[in-house]
Amino acid sequence: MNHSLFTSFPIHDLTLLAIATGPEGETYTKALAVAITLVTVIIFTSAQLFGEMGVRIGLPAVLGELIAGFVIGVSGFNLLMLADGGQVAPWLVSAVQSISGSDPATVQEIFSGPIRILTNEYASVGVGVLLFKIGLEADLKELIKVGPQAATVAVAGVVLPLAIGFFGLTTLFNLATVPAIFAAAALTATSIGITSRIMQDMGVLNTQEGKIILGAAVLDDILGIAVLAVALGIAEHGTVEVSSVLSIIVSATIFVLSAIALNKYFGPRYINFLSSLKNPYSVLIGAILFLSIVALIARAIGLEEILGCFAAGIILGNTKATKALEQACDPLVALFATVFFVTIGAKTDLSVLNFANPESRVGLVIALFLTVVAILTKLAAGYVVFTKVSVNRLAIGNGMVPRGEVGLVFAGLGAATGAVTGAVNVAIVLMVIATTFVAPPMLRWAFARNQKPLQPTEKNSM
């Protein structure tokens, strides 16, 4: 089930939630059921529509879902209320009211209360399952083969954007330390999903470049999520205390290394045990159970549940049930991660980037700065790759550019903790959109530039 699990993400600001019973209970329950169903229809209709439009013009569906969120959320028609102080569109309130026979005040309260809890909770399930699946897909064995080259690209691809981003944001834009760290952390992400999809379409997944890119992207996920854990820790404390940062870095490192070790020694045994059970679905339920326990351990030692979800995926990767688990996660990701991406869009208030307002113009400049840093630092990371073989360094750098869904996870969590607000948050989302938008054509161009025919290192086995 992997419910939510995130400290500050899902139900931020929720401090009092009282339940009372009374004669009006039945109307309330009916209105709630109608509202939930209508919101479901709105989220999935918009996600389908804009996701399809995105795919048709060559963009990842996830960008379309984000835009669907802009349209139905606070920047658009106000059909979801996910932050304090908003109002849901009057026609939606009327619709719920007339179908359920309720009154406007009750319906508004339903949108600001339970609908908000449930939407955020479903989004949390989505991001948790998504990270579990990314962990499952992180092929540690394959990673070791291209280890040194991938490691140099990944480390450079994390250190360069983090350092340059943080330095630029604090000196050029006078940003406070916490939002600057968060925005810089968002620059470190790489979307393994988008990159691998493009390379698969181009048939270059098994070239030397393709393997280095994938290996670096996996390492980047591991490093990036550790960076995220540190950034969230800092955001939670509100200040940067060297001792607490060090303690988070140490525990995150131990946590991830333990997961890698457990992948070898525990993962296959646990899967064998689950496979020996006679109850159908034992493997899936056992995996979700394990995911919940690892998330709980992460929380108990002061890390984020999201790191636990990822670590659980790492541990259960490369077993005989991994493929089946990935497939079982697909419908969950399809439904719940869609809710996650749509809600990120819905929460992003684009009106803070009003051109007419000089103050908000700064947000656009920050977005531009983040985008340039995001692209240039990953391209630079491609050039530090440590190898004697001649490789297409431009292609490698380009492969690391799209931030995609991983960047959006950073943006969503940053906004949810309150560490990043207003224009900076919107700037991060725009940077993710821009990098994801430019990456596919750039990657195609970089691979095409390579005049000599690409040398697959082995028969295409994908």
- Asked if 431 and 374 touch (Cβ cutoff 8 Å), the reply is yes
For the CB of residue 451, give the shortest distance to a second copy in the complex, in Å: 32
For the CB of residue 110, give the shortest distance to a second copy in the complex, in Å: 8
Which of 79, 83, 81, 49 lies closest to 66 in space, CA to CA? 49
Which of 389, 320, 336, 301 lies closest to 40 in space, CA to CA? 336
For the CB of residue 230, give the shortest distance to a second copy in the complex, in Å: 18
> Which CB sits closer to a second copy, 271 or 395?
271
For the CB of residue 372, give the shortest distance to a second copy in the complex, in Å: 30
For the CB of residue 54, give the shortest distance to a second copy in the complex, in Å: 8
Strand partners, 456: 207
> Which CB sits closer to a second copy, 99 or 391?
99
For the CB of residue 252, give the shortest distance to a second copy in the complex, in Å: 18
CA dist 278 and 191 (Å) reads 38
Which of 439, 314, 381, 377 lies closest to 149 in space, CA to CA? 381
> Which CB sits closer to a second copy, 114 or 268?
114
> Which CB sits closer to a second copy, 41 or 246?
41
> Which CB sits closer to a second copy, 171 or 327?
327
Per-residue CA distances from 9 to 54, 124, 130, 152, 276 (Å): 27, 8, 15, 32, 37
> Which CB sits closer to a second copy, 29 or 390?
29
Specify the long-range contacts of residues 158-162, CB closer than 8 Å, at least 24 apart.
Answer: 158/188, 158/220, 158/223, 158/224, 158/227, 160/377, 160/378, 160/380, 160/381, 161/187, 161/188, 161/373, 161/374, 161/377, 161/378, 162/187, 162/188, 162/227
Tokens of 76: 């658009």
> Which CB sits closer to a second copy, 33 or 384?
33
- Asked if 96 and 313 touch (Cβ cutoff 8 Å), the reply is no
For the CB of residue 7, give the shortest distance to a second copy in the complex, in Å: 5
> Which CB sits closer to a second copy, 28 or 166?
28
> Which CB sits closer to a second copy, 95 or 384?
95
For the CB of residue 142, give the shortest distance to a second copy in the complex, in Å: 23
CA dist 368 and 374 (Å) reads 10
For the CB of residue 253, give the shortest distance to a second copy in the complex, in Å: 22
Alpha helix (H) ranges present in 188-320? 192-202, 208-237, 242-265, 267-276, 282-300, 305-315
Tokens of 167: 């330095």
> Which CB sits closer to a second copy, 278 or 459?
278
CA dist 423 and 269 (Å) reads 48
For the CB of residue 119, give the shortest distance to a second copy in the complex, in Å: 9
CA dist 155 and 144 (Å) reads 15
CA dist 76 and 85 (Å) reads 16
